[in-house]
Structures are given as structure tokens and as C-alpha cells.
Amino acid sequence: MDTSIDHIGPQKAGNSFRDRHSNVNEKGKRNWVYALKPKGKLYRYRNYLSFVYLGLFFALPFIKIGGMPAIQLNFTEAKFILFGKIFWPDDFFIFAIAMIALIVFIALFTIIYGRVFCGWVCPQTVFMEFVFRKIEWWIEGTPAQQKKLNESQWNTDKIIKKGLKHFVFLFISLLIAHTFLSYILGVKEVRHLIQSPISENAGLFVGLLFFTGLFYFVFAFVRDIVCTTVCPYGRLQGVLFDKDTMQVSYDYNRGEPRGKLKKNVSQPVLGDCVDCKLCVNVCPTGIDIRNGVQMECVGCTACIDACNGVMEKLSRPLGLIRMASENQISKKLPFRFNGKMKFYSALLVILTGVMAFLIISRKSIDVSISRVKGQLYQEVGKDSLSNLFQAKIINKTHDDVQYELKVEGAIPGTVKMIDLHHHTLKAESLNNATFFIVVPVSGIKKRSSKIDIGVYANGTKTQTVTSTFLGPFM
């Protein structure tokens, strides 16, 4: 199977295509990737970004805004808190639009910048490259030392190193699983779970063990296969990329014919690639970017750093491997913002605008009122009529709220709550209220009239709900 997207690179380079994944050898066995630690400007930036990223990931469940968690995604109770605001199931249209906007953003980002998201921001890469691989380098040494250790017989040194590494991996996986649980249940609940006997929370305990095991298995063994084989976003790139997509590319026009520099030996005129293979050795998915754009490339830019380091030492221009589109490399064209990019950008602006409007106009007290079905009007005394109504009132705030309903508009009338009704909406609660609206007969001019009901929260009007009042046939 041809796994390459762009055929220009390998053809120019005179190489044949691979007929298998980079992480499988000709015998069908796993090619374990022993990646060198990258050095360079881009790796430094990724390192800084990973500190911010990991800091935020572990700190966010503890951060509160207005007494509420900054983020809590409680799927079990269908309660979602984002930046201190509670979103209820009836706000799901905002989530739906947010999800569509996110998908469009990812598509747009991929069309323009390829898989840079994977290499710089994806949690799999950040944890793999900036947590687990760093621990591996720290305990087992350089890639060459790791390989030697893996191939050596079991001895005390190997047992200690492997034991320590897997213990730390397991501990971090446990930490990640607990942090994810805090995003769902909240820190307070997770702390309570930790302190309670396992028998009281057996289901959650099994879930925690399962996710700890999953994270450990992914970061200790599956690793690059997640990006090259499992992740659906990675598989999507083939349909999203075009010849104007910026991606990590090898400039074969400049680099070929490649060849090692030999002192005091007359050589044919060579390109700038000295075939040092540093770009291959730093690659976390084990590919050779000089063979053209490949689906295993996660856009981590480690090979750019590696090659720039070599070019610097040789006093040659940097950027033999760089972010560039196929058209930029092959035709030496400038970057082009093509029709596809314009379309997705316009769609993204519209969706973001709609989402912003929905969030801004979202009500903290949401009320829906309807006449009780099957009920006709009742006569009240000699000069008034009443209809029975029911209201569903959601208090989306985290404070108790005093509320009141008043008849407003052209038809005069009063609201009479059914017995035992209280006017307090508990914080984050859904309330049902049943009430009569009593209207003077003189105010009703037809069988069915529109009636406006003002909703007041803590004395301030929040909205007007229009319903129907049923009178006698006229």
C-alpha cells in the first residue's frame, strides 16, 4: 500500500516507496522507535508550551470562578460548567454549534498548517514527548543506551531501570486518570472518593483502574502507533491536504542529490543534504521526511530543528526542511490562500458569531410557560375568567433566586399560584410551578388571545413569555 501523499519527494530523491507503515518491519514485526532528543528553537518553544499545557491540565480542576469549577463536564448528571457558567441540557444547541465550529476549525487548521496540531498541542504527543519520553531518557539514557538495555539479558541493572520506569509510568497514568475524573466529578467528589472505602465506590474504582491501565498501556507500549494508525484525525489528513497546505517538507530541489561530505576526495556536485540522518533519528514516528510527506508525520517539527542544526554547522542556509506547501517546494510559489481555505474561514467566522450570540443572549433564569392541556376556561365570580398554566423554570445560577410572574401587556390580569408554592428557586435547580391567570371578562375579546407574562428574578425583569388565554366562543 502506498502510504505517501506526495509522490514528488521520493521520485526526485530516487527512492522507492514503502509498502508498509514506518513502525512495521519487512517481517511484520514492530519497529520500536528510539527517538533522539531534539535540540533547537522549535523544540524549545514546544517545551515551554508543554509546561503551560501540563500546568493548565493539572490545575484547571482546582481553579474556581465565582465559586464554581472553571471546567466540569459531568456527563452522568448532564451538567456542564465552563468558565464558571453552568450549561444545562436545554443549552445543548450551543454545544452542538461549538462542536461544529471546532470541527470546522480543525479542518481549516489542517488545510492550512497540516498536522501541526498533532505535533504541538495534541495531549497524546504532549504527554508522550514531554512527560513519558523525558522520563525514559532520564532513567534509561540515550536512544542507543535504551536499545542496548532492551537487547541485553535480564540483570540487576535492567530490573532496576525497567522497574523504576514502569513504576513512574504507572504513577503518572494514575495521576492522569484521577485528573480526568476531577474534570467529570469535581475535585471535592474525587477527594471524597479517595478517602472512602473502595466497597462504597466499586464501579468508579474499577473505572479508574481501567483508565490508569489504558493510559499506561498507551504511553508505555502503543506510543507512536496511536498517531500513525489509531487516531481518526490522522487518517483524515489525506482528504484535507492539498498542494497549498503548509506542512513539514524537505526541499528536495535544494537537498538532492544527497551525499556525505568527504574530505580531500573529489565528489560530484551534491545538494545540501549531507545524509547525516539526524532528521530521521529525531523523528518520534520513525520516518524519513526526505521521502516526501507521509501520513505518519505528526508535524512535530523536530526534523526541522535537527536539520537546521546541521545547516548551521555547515554554514549553509537554514530551512532545508521547513514548513512549506507542495507548491512552494516544487514550483517555488508563495503561500496561497486558496478557495477551500476562504470557504472554511467564512464558515468559521459565521459559526463563531452565532455561538457568541447564543452565549451572550443565554438566560440565567430560563422559563417556559404553557396552558395546561385539556383545560378550558373557568368562571371566577361574575366578571372574571381564569386559565390554568404550568411553568418550567430553570435557575442556571449558583445562587438562590426569588422570582415572580406578572401578567403584562394589553390584557390585564393577575397570577395566582397554586397552594404551597414558594417563590424561591434553589441554586442550579429545575422547578415546576402551576398557577391560574385571572382576567376580567371585559379584557377578553375572542376565543383565544395572546397573553404576556413578565418573569422577574430578584425584582428585576428577565424576560417576557407569551402564551395563549382561552375564553368562551364569541
User: Which residues would be at the binding site for ligand SF4 (CB under 6 A)?
Assistant: 119, 248, 250, 255, 273-279, 282-285, 287, 289-290, 297-303, 306-307, 310, 320-321
Closest CB 327 distance from ligand SF4, rounded Å: 19
Please state the φ and ψ torsions of residue 450, each to the nearest 5 degrees. -80, 135
User: Do 429 and 401 touch, CB atoms closer than 8 A?
Assistant: no
Residue 165 or 290 having the CB closest to ligand SF4: 290
Residue 184: CA count within 13 A, CB half-sphere:
13
Task: Rank residues 187 and 280 by Cβ distance to ligand SF4 and give the closer one.
Answer: 280
Least distance between ligand SF4 and beta carbon 265 (Å): 18
- The smaller minimum CB distance to ligand SF4, of residues 285 and 395, is found at 285
Please report where in the chains the cell 539526524 appears, as a residue.
278
Minimum Å distance from CB 223 to ligand SF4?
13
Q: How far is the CB of 304 from ligand SF4 (least distance, A)?
A: 7
Is 22 or 386 the residue whose CB approaches ligand SF4 more closely? 22
- Minimum Å distance from CB 103 to ligand SF4? 24
Question: Cβ closer to ligand SF4: 128 or 302?
Answer: 302
Q: Which is nearer to ligand SF4, 308 or 387 (CB)?
A: 308
Smallest separation, CB 20 to ligand SF4 (Å) = 17
Beta carbon of residue 104, minimum distance to ligand SF4 (angstroms, whole number): 25
Cα–Cα distance for residue pair 365/78, rounded to 1 Å? 18
| CB closer to ligand SF4 out of 69 and 119 | 119
- First-to-final CA distance of the chain: 79
Least CB distance to ligand SF4 at residue 279 (A): 3
Pick between residue 86 and residue 122 the one whose CB is nearest to ligand SF4.
122
CA pair distance 13, 257, nearest whole angstrom: 7
Beta carbon nearer to ligand SF4, 118 or 172: 118
Residue whose CB is less far from ligand SF4, 170 or 222: 222
d(CA 322, CA 250): 7
Q: Least distance (Å) from ligand SF4 to the CB of residue 297?
A: 3
**Which residues on adjacent β-strands are paired with residue 370?**
390
Smallest distance, ligand SF4 to C-beta of residue 25, A: 18
Least CB distance to ligand SF4 at residue 398 (A): 45
User: What is the closest distance, in whole angstroms, from the C-beta atom of residue 230 to ligand SF4 in the complex?
Assistant: 16
Nearer to ligand SF4 by Cβ, of 39 and 161: the residue is 39
In SS3 terms, the chain reads as CCCECCCHHHHHHCCCCCCCCCCECCCCCECCCCCCCCCCHHHHHHHHHHHHHHHHHHHHHHCEECCEECEEEECCCCEEEECCEEECHHHHHHHHHHHHHHHHHHHHHHHHHCCHHHHHCCHHHHHHHHHHHHHHHHHHCCHHHHHHHHHCCCCHHHHHHHHHHHHHHHHHHHHHHHHHHHHHHCHHHHHHHHHCCHHHHHHHHHHHHHHHHHHHHHHHHHCHHHHHHHCHHHHHHHHHCCCCCCEEEECHHHHCCCCCCCCCCCCCCCCCCCCCCHHHHCCCCCCCHHHCCECCCCCCCHHHHHHHHHHHHCCCCCCCEEEECHHHHHCCCCCCCCHHHHHHHHHHHHHHHHHHHHHHCCCCEEEEEEECCCCCCEEECCCEEEEEEEEEEEECCCCCEEEEEEEECCCCCEEEECCCCCCEECCCEEEEEEEEEEEEHHHCCCCEEEEEEEEEECCEEEEEEEEEEECCCC
| Shorter beta-carbon distance to ligand SF4: residue 260 or 445 | 260
